[in-house]
Amino acid sequence: MTTPQSQISTHLQTNKSLHVSPTWLHSFITSSTTLQRNTPLSALTQTALFRILASDFRDSLTTSTPSSLLPADIFDPTVQERRLPGPVAVQVLDIEDIGTSLWSQVEAIERVARGEAIRGREIVRTVNVGEEGEDGGVARGPDTAAGGTSPGPHRLILQDAAGTRAVGVEVRRVSGVALNRMAIGAKMVLRNVTVARGMVLLTPECVTLLGGKIEALDQAWREARKAKLLARITAGPNGQNGQ
């Protein structure tokens, strides 16, 4: 007889290409069944997926399948081109818009802080007067302030279950990859992806976005973003490949 644990594991592996860590799954099952003994399996699977997307892959995924991991030497710049069949599940640790100057990104952040956006030549107030709380203004702010979504391309730092990091470059527009739409800790699966000189070339065909975020990382990233941009501007072009 198959246990709920193995059923969930198989389901997530076939449908989402996520190789869930048995230890993580075990603790998930034990913690939830004590609370909700009669939850149907499908709902439990959904909950598991939701938790995994909000988790750190290094905790929630297993490293026992090498084909689902990035090669340890992925950054090697002497390799002109190689292909990873995958599927490799990774999480996003950093996202940058390399089609827009750092300074104009700083200016956009400052406009948002002032509660303004620009529409053509018109300066628009994004803060709703009389509406209590900061959430309304701040949540709607960034998208309008950036003038919709920037065409990018974006440069990402990706990390697999084993903690191996790689640089990803959006060589063709991947919808969902955008500064204000993608959270830090968002998850994606790479299939048949080309790696050139240590850069993972992201295209719509080889990227499946799963969504999610790691709350603590995301918040810290957003708070530090302006300072980081400013620091990079001061450091000049040589300081920009700091990883």
Partner 1 sequence: MPVPRVLCVAEKPAIAKAVAQHLSGGSFRTIAIQGNQYVKNYVFEFNFGAPWGYCSVTMTSVIGHLTSLDFERQYKAWLSCPPAALFEAPVLETVDHDKVAIAANIQEQAQGSKALFIWTDCDREGEHIGTEIRKQAKEGNPRILVKRARFSNTEKAHVLSAARALIELDDLQANAVAARIELDLRIGAAFTRLQTLQLKPLSAALKDTVISYGSCQFPTLGFVVDRYLRVKNFKPESFWGIKVMHSREDIKVNFLWKRVHLFDRAVVTVMLERCLKAKKAKVTKVNQKPTSKWRPLPLTTVDLQMMGSRFLRMDSQTIMKVAEGLYTKGFISYPRTETDQFDKAIDLKKLVEKQLPDGNWGQYARNLLDGAFRTPRAGRHNDQAHPPIHPICWVAPTALTADEKKVYEFVVRRFLACCSEDAKGQTSEVEIQYGDEFFHAKGLLVLERNYLDVYVYDKWESSQQLPNFQMGELFEPTEAKIFDGKTSPPNYLTEPELIGLMDANGIGTDATMAEHIAKIKERQYVAVHSRGSGRNATKELIPTRLGIALVEGYDNVFAGMPDSPSLSKPFLRKEMELRMREICAGSRTRHQVVQEGLDMYREVFVHTQRRINMLKEACRKYLNESAA
Q: Does 129 bind partner 1 (CB under 8 A)?
A: yes
Q: Which stretch binds partner 1 (CB under 8 A): 42-50, 68-76, 86-94, 192-200?
A: 192-200
Q: Does 241 bind partner 1 (CB under 8 A)?
A: yes
Query: Closest distance between partner 1 and the C-beta of residue 241, in Å?
Result: 6
Q: Does 204 bind partner 1 (CB under 8 A)?
A: no
At residue 233, φ and ψ (nearest 5 deg) are -65, -45
Across 133-159, b (16+ Cβ under 10 Å) vs e yields eeeebeeebbbbbbeeebebbbbbbbb
Q: Does 197 bind partner 1 (CB under 8 A)?
A: yes
Of 149-178, binders to partner 1 (CB under 8 A) are 153, 155, 169, 171-172
Which of residues 122, 135, 148, 242 is near partner 1 by CB under 8 A?
122
Which of residues 29, 79, 98, 210 is near partner 1 by CB under 8 A?
98
Of 60-89, binders to partner 1 (CB under 8 A) are 80-81
Q: Does 217 bind partner 1 (CB under 8 A)?
A: no
Q: Which stretch binds partner 1 (CB under 8 A): 7-15, 41-49, 96-104, 178-186?
A: 96-104
Query: Closest distance between partner 1 and the C-beta of residue 168, in Å?
Result: 11
Query: Closest distance between partner 1 and the C-beta of residue 105, in Å?
Result: 10
Binding site for partner 1 (CB under 8 A): 80-81, 98-103, 107, 115-116, 120-123, 125, 127, 129-130, 134, 137, 153, 155, 169, 171-172, 196-197, 199, 201, 233-234, 236-237, 240-241
